[in-house]
Amino acid sequence: MFVMLRFVFLLVITILYVTPAIAFTGHSLPENGNDSIVFSPGKVWKDEKDNVINAHGGGVLYNKSTYYWYGEVRGETESKGVNVYSSKDLYHWKFEGLGLQTSSDPKSDIVSGCIIERPKVIYNQKTNKYVMWFHLEMKGQGYNAARAAVAISDKPTGPFTLVKSFRPNGHMSRDMGLFVDSDQAAYHIYSAQDNYDLRISKLTDDYLSPTVQDTLLFSKHREAPALFKKDDQYYLITSGCTGWEPNRSSVHVSKSLFGPWEMAGDPMVGPKSELTFGGQSTYILPVQGKKDAFIFMADVWKPKDLKDSRYIWLPIEFKNDKPIIEWKDQWDLSVFDK
């Protein structure tokens, strides 16, 4: 009897509340899905075929009216490479395939069993090539190799071919980001010296190698660098170093990429802001066609099941020139129209 009553009660609740909500909004759950025109940070995010997006530690390239999202493929076992998704509006993503694949050749630096993390892709106008940089750990060496690796493609969706892997100017290189400045010069920002140092190196014109213009930014044990520029001022968001566990973010500000960088505190605001809302920075995405519109991208790592790691995308606001990233359960791009 009790079970029957409970069933009827739940049925009534569903008919009264949930059905009109679906009819009205098109989605009952605060999920990032194919029917969604809002961002729901931390919730499962699905592509247009309803598969969960698998692109961690990633970055976004805007090229010829399309956004491309590149990220680590996380599965049951080892790294498989880098996934590519495309989108016209940032809400809906189409899976374009595995842009960079680990190799079956035991002599390859990216032989299956290696670790590929934090891939970023930039487009080189002079060579007309898409250039991917990522953090590479060699098979069977844990996190000891500490290398940067470069791959290249004729198309944004790949396939990307490995060019080489190395320690930039002899420095260890783990977490990393890329940045292309207004003059098309590109830079690699990387955690060196067992993550104690954060360094920046200017890339060669073809974006395939670091130049010797390679400088220590600061020695504060930071990782997960994400750099952006607004009004001739550079902003660098980083995390602390606590493995897969979240920690406090900070933002440094500078008039020049080579410093001096001034610490401007923790930009996060809201519940669990002291732990970056449970996430770790990966990229700052400039929104096209909107002035001063930037999206903070972070990963909520699930170390026991890395493929279940979630994404946090939040808008960046500016108060007295200081970036503020405030938690929002849901938001959309109209926040940038204010």
Q: Which positions touch ligand DGJ (CB under 6 A)?
A: 57, 117-118, 175, 223-224, 243-244, 280
Listed in sequence order, the residues at least 6 apart from 159 whose beta carbon sits closer than 8 Å to its beta carbon are 99, 100, 101, 153
At closest approach, how far in Å is the CB of 278 from ligand DGJ? 14
Measured from the CB atom, is 7 or 244 closer to ligand DGJ?
244
Assigned token pair, 233: 């001022």
Distance of CA 217 to the CA centre of its chain: 21
Which residue's CB atom is positioned nearest to ligand DGJ? 243
For residues 61 and 224, which CB has a smaller minimum distance to ligand DGJ in the complex? 224
**What value does the CA radius of gyration of the chain take, rounded to a whole number of Å?**
21
199/314 Cα distance (integer angstroms): 26
Please state, in angstroms and rounded to a whole number, the distance separating the CA atoms of residues 85 and 102.
18
Angstrom CA distances, 53 to 48, 115, 282, stand at 10, 19, 16
Q: What is the DSSP string of 244-267?
A: TS----EEEEESSTTS--EE----
Q: Which two tokens stand for residue 331?
A: 């938001």
CB 106 within 8 A of CB 92: no
Rounded least distance, CB 301 to ligand DGJ, Å = 7
CB of 243 to ligand DGJ, least distance (A): 4
Nearer to ligand DGJ (CB atom), residue 58 or residue 168: 58
Distance CA 204, CA 212 (A): 9
For ligand DGJ, the closer of residues 42 and 119 by Cβ is 119
Shortest approach of ligand DGJ to residue 17 CB, angstroms?
41
Tell me whether residue 243 or residue 289 sits nearer to ligand DGJ (CB atom).
243
Q: How far is the CB of 245 from ligand DGJ (least distance, A)?
A: 9
Query: Least distance in Å: CB of 308 to ligand DGJ?
Result: 16
| Residues 6 or more apart in contact with residue 263 via CB below 8 angstroms | 250, 251, 252
Whose Cβ is closer to ligand DGJ: residue 47's or residue 117's? 117
The answer to whether 261 touches 252, Cβ cutoff 8 Å, is yes
Q: Which is nearer to ligand DGJ, 33 or 240 (CB)?
A: 240
Closer to ligand DGJ at the Cβ: 58 or 99? Answer: 58
Q: How far is the CB of 130 from ligand DGJ (least distance, A)?
A: 22
Q: Closest separation between CB of residue 33 and ligand DGJ, Å?
A: 26
The two structure tokens encoding residue 227: 């750099």
Closer CB to ligand DGJ, residue 201 or residue 239? 239
CB of 315 to ligand DGJ, least distance (A): 23
Give the ranges where the chain is alpha helix by DSSP (H): 2-13, 19-25
Burial 230-247 (b: 16+ CB within 10 A, else e): beeebbbbbbbbeeeebb
Which residues, in sequence order, are bridge partners of residue 197?
192
